Structure 1
Amino acid sequence: MARYIFITGGVVSSLGKGLASAALGALLQARGYSVRLRKLDPYLNVDPGTMSPFEHGEVFVTDDGAETDLDLGHYERFTGVAARATDSISSGRVYSNVLEKERRGDYLGKTIQVIPHVTNEIKDFLRIGADEVDFMLCEIGGTVGDIEGLPFFEAIRQFSQEQPRGQCVLMHLTLLPYIKASGELKTKPTQHSVKELRSIGLAPDILVCRSEGPIPLKEREKLALFCNVRPDSVIAAQDLKSIYEAPLAYHREGMDQAVLDAFGISPAPKPNLDRWEDVVDRIHNTDGEVRVAIVGKYTQLEDAYKSIAEALTHGGMANRVKVRIEWIDAEVFEREEPSAHLERLNAILVPGGFGERGTEGKIKAAQFAREKGIPYLGICLGMQMAVIEAARNMAHIDNAGSEEFDHEAQAGKPVDVRRFTPVVYHLKEWVQGNHTVTRRADDDKGGTMRLGSYDAVLKDGSKVAEAYGTTAIEERHRHRYEVDIRYREKLEESGLVFSGMSPDGRLPEIVEAKDHPWYIGVQFHPELKSKPFAPHPLFADFVRAAKEQSRLV
């Protein structure tokens, strides 16, 4: 039976609950325990799949095809434990499940209420896989006091009472603001946040206090006294140069020991932190830097490409270089020539996205990289833009485009190929496991894409096969449009090689330019599987190519 750690937040949002949860998971692993991390989000969307990246950052996709919160990416990167669909739930999903049961008559005519029906649904979610791991870490999204989070707080209150004594611990993350004018670190917001928790029947065992600097002993003692926790359970969470310093920083503060003490685990196994010491060493002891452009449509919010940014950092660690990212709005290239922005950079990455905005700018970025011999990595839409660019400028299909950007094609009307040739089309059918999945263009948007992990076969001797060190791979997908295999022969004759295909040979997975130092487009999202202690091979090789390019500039 797993022990449960509930992580809540107070005072303000975006304090780093996800990072604290991930770091704690890594520290428990370092002591020899098995862990699983979960996210409970109060928003009413069923999942973040239909939310704009500007609203909630990137959508993280699991192997089994769930569209989840970006914090699950932190969990995977820090622990290496592959997230599952059962590791993420929202209020929308909870209420949807309850209402489906009500419609089926599962409640036998009872009046449906938040307590007990909604809270029972949340508790059932918490119990999934409880016998698989030593510790289950459950992060509650939002901030204590938010009205939409109340059912989750009530559920964990009930759940903690129903578990055997000593099986649940509550860790509360708050802010200690520093008032510069008076030179004081203020504890009152944290006191009020704990008071709010107590008013709904919860009391923290551990306080994690975000601050710009160290917490003096006097303030620690004050927090311990007024928040009813042990002084050694007041943990400072100071600003760090890199998020990957968090496990070592939290260990120095005694977070993992405080958690084990709260569970009464004594003597506690000694931690082996060699992995994280090596990670931090690779971050801070580098041999130069490379500059990589990310040409996208959500560049105003870096969280929209969180996993890509982290995967580039991991690629830098693999090559002992610092990766400096230049964020460029793709729409800029629809007004200006790319050369002014890209010619002194060492590599170009075009990420995924949806919709027509900025796509012509992405095509120009792909063209610039191909013609100038600059390393290029196109991910999902970035691969499709590379194919369209090659179709137009190498295979001389002047009107090449995507069905995604043609309103007549989206409406199901016949396409006039004299005006528009869709080399990228709406994916209508594919094989998933042992059955065929079909989709229509007018299906609901949520959860109807090609989602989750799929196999691919790589061409022997290709750059991607060399990078992976194998010809059989498995990667995660999130898309509803696909490169049309009918144009393969014409594109390959012009120099764009289809170097990765689905096992049945019907769906293009990877393309690469024939006579180019490093020009690769992938239909999947390799960034989702990269970790600081195990950089994804594509990102490691991409940064290696950028490092070689930097010596030529």
Structure 2
Amino acid sequence: EVKERLNQIEAEVVIIEIGGTVGDIEGEVFLETIREMVLEKGKENFLFIHITYVPYLKVTNEYKTKPTQQSVQLLRRIGIQPDVIAARSELPIESPEIRKIALFAGIKPEMVINLPDNKNVYEVPRNLYNMRFHTIILDRLQLTASRDFQWDYPTVFKPLKIGIVGKYLGTDDAYKSIIESIFLCGVEKPTLLDAQELEEMNEEEVHLLLKDYGGLIIPGGFGKRGIEGKLKAIGYARERRKPLLGICLGMQLMILEFARNQLGMKEADSTEFNPETERPLIDLMEEQKKTLQMGGTMRLGAQRAPIFKNTRLYEAYGDLEEVFERHRHRYEVNWELCRSFLKLPEEANEENRSKRLIVGSKNEFVESVELEDHPFFIGVQYHPEFLSKVGHPHPLFLSFIRAINGVSKGGSL
């Protein structure tokens, strides 16, 4: 099964990662599969890179190479000879240890690549390039590089204070893609704010917590926990003209907050949080309502999203009329129930500007909403953070940062 799936991949170069630790029973079948494929396709078509950790003992002031030696021996017993050892370490490893690792691995010292800790992960590719690691790959697989290496990550960061109002706060990993998207815009790391704590705060306490933030992000998520806190943050950003970006669930909550507090629809809700609501502005997608098993049934992956002219979204994308964005949701905006205040750009006029949200993108689903008279109040059903890349941050994040800069330089909060 593993071999069949690998053979189905239509690519000139395939990167296969086998996780875990050499010797674990869970990895045996995968290692055996790769060993057999080498025999079938020829060793000249493979490059084995073994990643190990070389611990440093401060007490004796030395690196211990024994764990690396042991794992290489286990690999060789299985029938796999590493071509390259990528040695992770806290600090740079000296030449004697490099030569020792190479000796016991049966490879040349230049095939031992030391990867010491860096300030951030974006320094690693540049360091690998400087060590000419790419030439090892090119020479072994008989490939040629078509152009020089381009890797323009930020090194200077603007001191803008951005808050992510979420509920998965045990680790940065829950909002890692959003945090990295902000990083790639050249802005200091955002702060994670506990949506559940906001639920218990009154209006003055919310103001004291959020007043110093230049902008807020309401990320995606699931379940009722922390929802009222996120709604308070959205209301604060809307009323105080503070730049706000809503993502996935964040966009849906922007619609609920606007309906409840600006339009007086106090019973407006989502069936995700209140299945019995009489005004389900956010509801389960029609094709989902007949699904009994929820696992693996979401609307996933890249989906087409038309971008309407005369919207802030259109400006953010640099006048693109269509994009493909990554999705991950099973609830949608109930277009019929929201039709009274969600308006297409061509339907907007100078009347009742405070009583409507403009739709920036819509196909069979509402993909984006925005508030007209606001520095930046945009929600999107998709996940722009998944398409941010080094040297090319997602345009929505860039537009969000520009709006924060504009407000901080004289706009009203």
Return the TM-score normalized by structure 1.
0.68
Q: Are 2:272 and 1:272 equivalent residues in the alignment? A: no
Query: Which residue in 2 is equivalent to 1:489?
Result: 340
Mapped partners of 1:153, 1:369: distance in 2: 53
Mapped partners of 1:343, 1:126: distance in 2: 53
Aligned counterpart for 1:331 among listed residues 196, 200, 219: 196
Percent identity of equivalent pairs: 40
Q: CA deviation at 1:368?
A: 1.1
Aligned counterpart for 1:284 among listed residues 150, 155, 158: 155
Mapped partners of 1:462, 1:399: distance in 2: 29
Query: Which residue in 2 is equivalent to 1:381?
Result: 249
Confirm or deny: 8 A CA contact 2:138 2:145 kept in the other structure: no
Q: Are 2:169 and 1:299 equivalent residues in the alignment? A: yes
Query: Which residue in 2 is equivalent to 1:220?
Result: 98
Q: Are 2:223 and 1:352 equivalent residues in the alignment? A: no
Q: Are 2:403 and 1:545 equivalent residues in the alignment? A: yes
Aligned counterpart for 2:180 among listed residues 310, 332, 351: 310
Query: Which residue in 2 is equivalent to 1:124?
Result: 4
User: Relative to 1, partners in 2 of residues 1:416 and 1:238: Cα closer, same or farther, differing over 3 Å?
Assistant: closer
Query: Which residue in 2 is equivalent to 1:452?
Result: 301
Point out which structure has higher relative CO (alpha carbons under 8 A, 6+ apart).
1
Query: Which residue in 2 is equivalent to 1:471?
Result: 321
User: Relative to 1, partners in 2 of residues 1:348 and 1:174: Cα closer, same or farther, differing over 3 Å?
Assistant: same
User: Relative to 1, partners in 2 of residues 1:147 and 1:385: Cα closer, same or farther, differing over 3 Å?
Assistant: same
Confirm or deny: 8 A CA contact 1:176 1:211 kept in the other structure: yes
Query: Which residue in 1 is equivalent to 2:15?
Result: 137
Q: CA deviation at 1:152?
A: 1.0
- Give the residue type in structure 2 aligned to 1:509: E
Mapped partners of 1:340, 1:538: distance in 2: 28
The runs of at least 4 aligned residues of structure 1 exceeding 4 Å deviation read: 268-271
Mapped partners of 2:125, 2:146: distance in 1: 15
Structure 2: gaps (5+ residues):
344-351
Structure 1: gaps (5+ residues):
1-120, 410-414, 429-437
Q: CA deviation at 1:339?
A: 2.1
Confirm or deny: 8 A CA contact 1:206 1:259 kept in the other structure: no
Confirm or deny: 8 A CA contact 1:401 1:422 kept in the other structure: yes
Confirm or deny: 8 A CA contact 1:290 1:550 kept in the other structure: no
Aligned length: 396
Mapped partners of 2:409, 2:64: distance in 1: 50
Confirm or deny: 8 A CA contact 2:269 2:277 kept in the other structure: no
2:390 alignment partner, SS class: coil
User: Relative to 1, partners in 2 of residues 1:416 and 1:202: Cα closer, same or farther, differing over 3 Å?
Assistant: closer
Mapped partners of 2:44, 2:397: distance in 1: 43
Of residues 492-501 and 350-359 in structure 1, the stretch that sits farther from structure 2 once superposed is 492-501
Q: CA deviation at 1:372?
A: 1.1
Q: CA deviation at 1:416?
A: 5.5
Q: CA deviation at 1:521?
A: 0.4
Q: Are 2:399 and 1:536 equivalent residues in the alignment? A: no
- Give the residue type in structure 2 aligned to 1:124: E
1:401 alignment partner, SS class: strand
Confirm or deny: 8 A CA contact 2:182 2:188 kept in the other structure: yes
- Give the residue type in structure 2 aligned to 1:401: D
1:328 alignment partner, SS class: strand
Q: Are 2:260 and 1:402 equivalent residues in the alignment? A: no
Q: CA deviation at 1:444?
A: 1.5
- Give the residue type in structure 2 aligned to 1:495: R
Render the CA deviation track for 1:352-391: whole Å, top value 9, x for unaligned. 1111111111111111111111110000000011111001
User: Relative to 1, partners in 2 of residues 1:156 and 1:362: Cα closer, same or farther, differing over 3 Å?
Assistant: same
Q: CA deviation at 1:498?
A: 1.8
Q: CA deviation at 1:488?
A: 2.5
Q: CA deviation at 1:472?
A: 2.0
Confirm or deny: 8 A CA contact 1:352 1:382 kept in the other structure: yes
Q: CA deviation at 1:441?
A: 5.6
2:178 alignment partner, SS class: helix
- Give the residue type in structure 1 aligned to 2:379: G
- Give the residue type in structure 1 aligned to 2:310: G
